[in-house]
Chain A
Amino acid sequence: MKMKERILKSLIYISTIVTVGVLLWIIGYILVKGVAHISWGFLSTDQTSDYNGILPIIISTLYLVFLGVVVATPIGVFAAIYLTEYAKQGRIVKVIRFATESLGAIPSIVFGLFGLIFFVVILRLQRSLVAGALTVTIMVLPTIIRATEEALKSVPREYREGSFALGASKFRTIFKVILPSAIPGILSATILTIGRIVGESAAVFLTAGMVPRMPRGIFDPGRTLSVHMYILASEGISFDEAYATAVVLVAIVLMVNFTANKVVNLLKRGRMAS
């Protein structure tokens, strides 16, 4: 018995060490190999320069993130408001919930296929940042809906009742009372969405194209960081460049996770203090 417990206990510790260890291994390896290849020139020029720079790729990524967040956030937040504040349990809510969960489970390559025929071909958007952004919008919707719903549910009932008691309409209550208290949750969901869009590659390369050029607008194709990373890794044109790009991606992911956590903590504290 003692023996068995000792084995179980050491398995628990080993597993935790493996989990954290793999993370440190991946990030450490990429940083060690890549940091030396990062330079200002690499970040501020395009592919034709001596640095094989990634500025157009960073800009394309920003376009995609901005568009994706701007379209997905309101739809997601409003959907969550409907689900928590308006909808009563019923068939239609069940359908919406099931659809949202399904959307979260669909593999990104399937979104890519859909985006390719619907946005790129049928809507004639060609391979463009806007086609890519619309595709990822659908993809990240469940994340935003779920997080917002949770944030809304955590707003105390008394807030609502108080507001109604003061004669405020439902709309005023939602926008003046409930949403402001739910903002930390929504904000951190949005930040995580940014991470998700930056990290997406399978759905993006089929819809936004792979052109490593500075986009002039949202109807131009563009290559995002993850797609660039994939192309560098699979085509082995330059592994130094691949490591350097990987460092940029890791830096973004670290930043996104860090700010998401900080935002939640800061705003929570701010709310409590007031």
Chain B
Amino acid sequence: MILENDRIEQRVLKPMKKMKWSDIFEWLIERVFFICAMFAVFSVAAITIFIFIKGLPAISEIGLLNFTLGSKWKPSANLFGILPMIAGSIFATIGAIAIGVPVGIFTAVYLAEIAPPNVAKFVRPAVELLAGIPSVLYGFFGLVVIVPLVSDVFGGAGYSLLTASFILGVMILPTIISLSEAALRAVPVEYKEGALALGSSHINAVFTVLIPAARSGIVAAIILGVGRAIGETMAVMLVAGNTPRVPGSVLDPIRTMTTNIAMEMNYAVDLHFDALFGTGVVLFVFIMILNLVTYFFVHRNVAK
């Protein structure tokens, strides 16, 4: 609309013939940009449609409740219950949060409030590097270091919920740290200064004023961390043991929704194949709910 007005203005200002060429050109360029911008929309739509087209028939054939609440995953016997995988994903994520969130927030506080510039210059790239390490390397490290460690210290096979949680906890650290740090820095200086003027110590001011003020940003960081943990595949596959069973303890093996797909995608036919897409649908729904929550969190934040 407004762009059209621009064009009308130009039309008034410039001689008729010359304007027409540049007009078409400008219009064309804008269309190209627009199409590229719509690419993301097309992609999300296509992904959603294809995953659902492939997955929904399987879910309806198995039955929504049998599928999501069934506790037995035995494709050879036509039993497709993904409750163990949903539980596996949720437990692993809770474990990752339990490990990653406190460490992440404390580190963010260090970077935002305490670190001398020359130390921050070293810590911040380290956090970035942590984000850049491929997930398969985390998995490999977990396989050769953490699995034997867990096995030696706690007994059992070592392929466990605990191992997966630890690896995921480390993997979500960079997300939590950088977003929490940004949220802490976004709090107006006056807040802290006010608290300090009232006689509060620095640390006290951080925890009683700064963190509560940055709350919604930190929550958004945690939700993004949750998304990353739920979506992680290869690292988990290498360390989790992949037994499709609701774990009874932190030392039991788990299988997550993502690993269920990656593990059996190449081995599946017929309903089994479609049921894996069904798993993808459930995973997708989880992620989309999280994404909606973040979207509103972030935007409410901006609006404030």
Contacts and interface: CB of A to CB of B under 8 A. Distances in A.
Are chains A and B touching in the complex at the 8 Å CB cutoff? yes
B36 interface: yes
Interface stretch (A48-56, A154-162, A215-223, A253-261): A253-261
A105 B220 CA distance: 13
Contacts of A103: 40, 43-44
A30 interface: yes
A107 B232 contact: yes
Contact of A19 (B30, B51, B127): B127
Interface stretch (B58-66, B130-138, B182-190): B130-138
A8 B203 contact: yes
B258 A99 contact: no
Given A75-B36, A79-B33, A109-B233, A26 B141 contact: yes
A110 B107 contact: no
Given A19-B177, A26-B141, A114-B51, A253 B132 contact: yes
A82 B3 CA distance: 12
Which of the listed residues B39, B107, B122, B287 has the most CB atoms from chain A within 10 Å of its own CB? B39
Given A87-B37, A88-B2, A23 B129 contact: yes
B173 interface: yes
A15 B36 contact: no
A102 B291 contact: yes
A66 interface: no
A68 to B, nearest CB: 14
Interface string B140-153: 11011100000000
B261 A239 contact: no
Contacts of B36: 74-76, 78-79, 82
Contacts of B138: 26
B150 to A, nearest CB: 15
Given A15-B110, A114-B51, A202 B37 contact: no
A9 B203 contact: yes
A202 B262 contact: yes
B207 A20 contact: no
Given A12-B109, A23-B130, A110 B51 contact: yes
A202 B265 CA distance: 11
B98 interface: no
A274 interface: no
Interface of A: 1, 5, 8-9, 11-16, 18-20, 22-23, 25-27, 29-30, 74-76, 78-79, 81-83, 85-88, 95-96, 98-103, 105-114, 116-118, 138, 141-142, 145, 169-171, 192, 195, 198-202, 205-206, 226-227, 229-230, 233-234, 239, 242, 246, 249-250, 253-254, 256-257, 261
Given A109-B231, A141-B39, A246-B137, 17 more contacts: A15-B103, A15-B106, A23-B126, A96-B38, A98-B295, A99-B43, A99-B44, A105-B288, A107-B230, A108-B233, A109-B283, A110-B47, A110-B231, A110-B283, A113-B277, A229-B134, A230-B234
Interface of B: 1-3, 6, 22, 25-26, 29-30, 32-34, 36-41, 43-47, 50-51, 54, 102-107, 109-111, 114-115, 122-123, 125-130, 132-141, 143-145, 170, 173, 177, 201, 203-204, 207, 224, 227, 230-234, 237-238, 258, 261-262, 265, 276-277, 280, 283-284, 287-288, 290-291, 294-295
